[in-house]
Amino acid sequence: MNAKRQEAVSGGLSIRPAVVCIAACLSIVQLATADELPDSVQRVLTSLDIPPDNVSVLVRELGSPEPLLSYLPSEPRNPASVMKLVTTWSGLELLGPAYTWPTEVYFIGDFDGQRLYGDLGIKGFGDPFLVIEEFWKVLRALRRIGLHEIEGDLLLDDSFFDVPLEDPGAFDGQPYRTYNVVPSALLVNFKAVRFFFLADSANRRVLLSSDPELPNLNIRNRIDLVDGPCRGYQSGISFHIDDPETMSRVIFEGEFPARCNNYSLSRTVLEHDSYTFGLFRSLWSDLGGSLEGRLNNGPIPENADLVVTWRSPPLGEVIRSINKNSNNVMTRQLLLTIGAEFRGVPGKELDGIEVINEHLQSLGIHDGSLQLVNGAGLSRESRVSARLLVDMLEAAARHAYAPEFMASLSIAGLDGTTRNRFDQASGNGVMHVKTGRLDHVSALAGYVHGSDGKIYAITILMNSTDAHRGLGQEFEEAVMRWLHSEI
Of the CA atoms within 13 Å of residue 330, those in its CB half-sphere come to: 24
Segment 134-187, tens digit of pLDDT: 999 999 999 999 999 999 999 999 999 999 999 999 999 999 999 999 999 999
- Top-confidence residue, 23 or 316: 316
Banded model confidence at residue 15, pLDDT cuts 50, 70, 90: very low
Cα 148 to chain centroid distance, Å, stands at 37
Beta bridge pairs of residue 265: 195
Sorted by where each starts, the structural domains of the chain and their CATH numbers stand as 1-32 (no CATH), 34-97+316-486 (3.40.710.10), 101-312 (3.50.80.20)
Look at residue 26 and tell me whether its pLDDT is greater than 90: no
Of the chain, the percentage scoring pLDDT greater than 70 comes to: 92
Q: In what order do the strands lie in the sheet with 205-211?
A: 205-211, 192-200, 263-268
**CB 164: neighbour CB atoms within 10 A?**
7
DSSP assigned state of 245? T
**Using alpha carbons only, what angle is made at residue 246 by residues 242 and 249, rounded to the nearest 5 degrees?**
35
Q: Which of 130-144, 219-233, 378-392, 436-450 has the lowest mean pLDDT?
A: 219-233
Cα torsion through 107, 108, 114, 115, rounded to 10: -150
* Residue 191 dihedral angles phi and psi, to the nearest 5°: 55, 35
Residue 23 pLDDT > 90: no
pLDDT of residue 483: 93
Please give the pLDDT value at position 425.
Answer: 65
- Distances in Å between the alpha carbon of 16 and those of 6, 19, 20? 13, 5, 7
Report how far residue 214's alpha carbon sits from residue 424's, in angstroms, rounded to the nearest whole number: 46
Residue type present at position 98: A
In this predicted structure, what is the pLDDT of residue 31? 38
State residue 487's pLDDT score.
85
pLDDT digits (tens, 9 = 90+) for 457-479: 999 999 999 999 999 999 999 99
pLDDT band at 428 (very low <50, low <70, confident <90, very high): confident
Residue 141 to residues 137, 151, 284, 389, Cα–Cα distance (Å): 6, 19, 11, 43
Segment 390-417 shows an average pLDDT of 96
pLDDT value of position 140: 98
User: Which one is predicted more confidently, 30 or 379?
Assistant: 379
Whole-number Å distance between alpha carbons of 337 and 331: 10
Do residues 100 and 311 touch, judged by C-beta distance below 8 A?
Answer: yes
Spatial distance between the Cα atoms of 154 and 64, rounded to a whole number of angstroms = 58
Residue 336 to residue 204: CA distance in whole angstroms:
49
Range 392-418 average pLDDT: 96
pLDDT of residue 27: 38
The pLDDT score that the predictor gives to residue 61 is 97
pLDDT at residue 449 greater than cutoff 70: yes
Q: Which residues pair with 56 in a beta bridge?
A: 461
Dihedral (C-alpha) 344, 347, 349, 350: value to the nearest 10 degrees? -20
Average model confidence (pLDDT) across the chain = 92
- 3-class secondary structure, 76: coil
Q: Is the pLDDT of residue 423 over 90?
A: no
pLDDT (0 to 100) of residue 21? 37
* 190-199, 310-319, 423-432: segment of lowest average pLDDT: 423-432
**Considering the entire predicted model, what is its pTM?**
0.91
SS3 330: helix
- pLDDT band at residue 424, thresholds of 50, 70 and 90? low
pLDDT at 28: 36
C-alpha to C-alpha distance for 487 and 483, rounded to whole angstroms: 6
What are the DSSP calls for 34-49, one per residue? TT---HHHHHHHHHTT
pLDDT band at 231 (very low <50, low <70, confident <90, very high): confident
Amino acid type, 216: N
User: Which H or E run contains 80?
Assistant: none
Closest by CA position to 369, among listed 81, 85, 73, 68 = 73
Q: Given a cut of 80, is residue 8 above it in pLDDT?
A: no
Report which of 370, 333, 360, 336 is spatially closest to residue 350, judged by C-alpha positions.
Answer: 336
Assign 35 a pLDDT band (cuts: 50, 70, 90): confident
Q: Mean per-residue pLDDT for 298-317? A: 98
HEC string of 188-208? CHHHEEEEEEEEEHHHCEEEE
pLDDT in tens, 37-70: 999 999 999 999 999 999 999 999 999 999 999 9
Alpha carbons 380 and 441: distance in angstroms, whole number:
10
**Least trusted range by pLDDT, from 35-39, 94-98, 193-197, 313-317:** 35-39
